[in-house]
Amino acid sequence: MKFDTPADTNPIDQEKVVAQPHPRIEGPLKVTGQATYAAEYHEPRNTAYGFVRGSGIGHGKITRIDVGRAEAAPGVLLVLTHHNTPWTTLESPVPQQYEHSPHLVSEEVNYYGEAVAFVVAETFEQARHAASLIEVEYQAGEADFVLEDVMAQGKPSPDSPDSEVGDFEQAFKEASVKVDVTYTTPDQSQMPMEPHASLAEWQGEQLTLYTSNQMVHWVRRGLSKTFHMPQQDIRIVSRYVGGGFGSKLNFYADAVLSIYAARKLGRPVKTVLHRPLIPNHTTHRPATIQRLRLAADREGHLLAVGHDSYSGNLPGGDGENASDQTKLLYAGPNRLIRTRVSELHLPPGGSMRAPGEAVGLLALECAMDELAEKLKLDPVELRIRNDIQHDPEKGPKRPYSSRKLVKALREGAKAFGWEKRQATPAQVREGEWLIGMGMASAFRKNLVQPSGARVRLERGGKLTVETQMTDIGTGSYTILGQVAAEMLGLRLEDVTVKLGDSDFPKASGSGGSFGANSSTTGLYYACEELRQVISGQFGYDPRTTEFKNGEVWSGNHCTLLAKAASQGAVEAEGNVTWGDLSEKFVQASFGAHFAEVAVNAYTGETRVRRLLSAVTAGRILNPVTARSQCLGGMTMGVGAALMEELHVDERFGLFINHDLAEYHVPVHADIPQLDVLFLDELDDKSSPLKAKGIGELGICGVGAAVANAVYNASGVRIRDYPLTLDKVLAGWEAAD
């Protein structure tokens, strides 16, 4: 079914099950250890274990590799290098995101942590020990590891074309009030708690891969291209994913080399990537350098909006499109927005929660704060004055489908107590702590993907849902169960949801905040089909039939739903594709973040004391799971502001702080009480559910709100993230 006209009133609008605060239906399985993650699937008795040996240089080639000692080590079954793997026929030696991912291709080394050998043994410990015995010698090539050194060589991003409206340079030159500032964000790692893991098993020509991945159909397609085999011969199982945040959109050496080794040995092979390979072998968020030029009249109306963003990646890789939200968020007749990507020989850059906006808003929303200060205008009021109800570049012919940013700003400010903020920095003190408030807008594009599902009414009136959609800790099981229950007039406990298996209908998968809206829409259409089948079976007109309380009603006639399956299960499938509503209307989720921080007047230490997010994201399918998503995003936003940073060893191109001890993420002691305020909204242009993406909105802008609060508390404006205490102290020293 193509969704190409705005949604009318439909069964979801009853909100008897949908939009109600149900706890996660799979929660008991998780807390009792019964939810099976990638490394926990039942292992056949003859399972072997793999270990990936990563490259020790950032760019160059292998001149010698000696695996003799490794092959002779106890328990070793197989050692793979580029000498005995079959990838030389592939066109590209570098793994391509979502397409194919060969490993051990040749003697060429493209990044630190790239697989140079793979050991399979009877136990994990034996494989790990043998991998350490492999002798590798390299010839290092010329390499660039620092973005600042190569930013001038950056090329336009194919995913984010330049945007120029009006005469930016002239408008900026003539404006009464302006800021011209540069913000930098570091390389960051997704650092999911669950490591990347795969268990490969062959049965004849049929492959089953149990893995941890957000996008089942992307893995299946990519493995088909990598191994030159039909997709129908590949089964992917990824029922539970312990966090991915973008790093598990791709697949890596744990999957590919386990598959090849399992075929070669004739027995299953399991591989879990050890922690240092997560930032150095999988993907990370690339660093950015962002120049913001904003100009306004004395009343605070933006006249010129300029945003230049620079990032780097391996040759052919995508950049971090940190300027994209600037094209849409605020008014301004003269605009110049550009994204440049340079070549770096760091490990692959890829998606991390809210790619683009998460770091783009760290710069834009702080620049807006600096402009508000120059204007002597409240930061909330500056954003309200520059609200716009249509695409700033394309004009009124492309309006927003729904945009309640102003409401979020006002209601968030009221709930937070924003009126108590002192505009002049460093004015509020409690003992040795300086107290400040900051805020920022939240913005995330509403994306959708094709998605499908299968529904089956079982004997006894229970319903089963099957779809490739994944649950990465986001509540997919629960919201899909709620939609199915709403559509068929059942209780949530009467619905069984099965996810993460390529034997099920292809679904959107989890990523880009498109998962919930897309997968529930595919399920909606599957349920619509089942409703029609059942109505026809009872001789009812499907246009007027109602499903409620386990019954099917047509006028005054009522039949138990279970009767439809009395002779056997009744099944239907449905899917959604999308028309051009996203082209006719700008679709996005919005919000406003408010932060209060305390900065120690002696040490420069920053503590977040309060955070509130006011969110407008269409229909909230489940307030419990949606709030959980916002809290997770807010926590990651605090991390981005205050501590998260991958440090590059410029000798070798590796991320040196590659474990959870040295890559600092927020812990419980760092996070205060977080509040989320959901505003009523239905977006009929988005989907039949009238919902929009929310999973990434929670991080977008949070870090800027914290950074603006740090400035308000301390009087130190830091434009180089993260805002560590040494930078606060340096700011005070410079002021003295």
Q: Which residues are catalytic?
A: 696
Order of strands, sheet of 451-457, starting from the edge strand that comes earlier in the sequence? 2-3, 570-578, 451-457, 463-466, 495-498
Structure-block tokens of residue 347: 């490990």
Q: Give the number of other CB atoms < 10 A from CB of residue 47.
A: 17
Burial string for 397-422 (b: 16+ CB within 10 Å, else e) reads eebbbbbbbbbbbbbbbeebebeebe
Query: What is the full DSSP assignment across 334-365?
Result: EEEEEEEEEE--SSPB---SSTTHHHHHHHHH
**What's CA 544's distance to the chain center, in Å?**
40
Task: Residue 723: name the closest of 642, 667, 634, 640 by CA.
Answer: 642
Burial string for 289-321 (b: 16+ CB within 10 Å, else e) reads bbbbbbbbeeebebbbbbbbbbbbbbeebbbbb
Task: Residue 504: name the closest of 454, 451, 554, 555 by CA.
Answer: 454
Order of strands, sheet of 60-66, starting from the edge strand that comes earlier in the sequence? 108-109, 60-66, 135-140
Query: What is the full DSSP assignment across 411-444?
Result: HHHHHHTGGG--SSTT-EEETTEEEEEEEEEEEE
Cα-flanking dihedrals φ and ψ of residue 514, to 5°? Answer: -95, -10
- Spatial distance between the Cα atoms of 503 and 506, rounded to a whole number of angstroms: 8
355, 309 Cβ separation under 8 angstroms: no
**Torsion angle of the four alpha carbons 699, 703, 705, 711, in this order, in degrees rounded to the nearest 10:** 180
DSSP-based three-state secondary structure for 284: strand
460, 577 Cβ separation under 8 angstroms: no
Q: Which helix (H) or strand (E) holds 379?
A: helix 379-385
Structure-block tokens of residue 393: 């570049």
My answer on whether omega of the bond before 186 falls inside 30° of 0, hence cis, is: no
HSE value, Cβ hemisphere, 13 Å, CA-based, for 382: 27
Give Cβ neighbours of residue 402 (< 8 Å, ≥ 6 apart): 616, 618, 681, 682, 683, 685, 686
Q: CA-based diameter of the chain, in Å?
A: 85
**What's CA 94's distance to the chain center, in Å?**
23
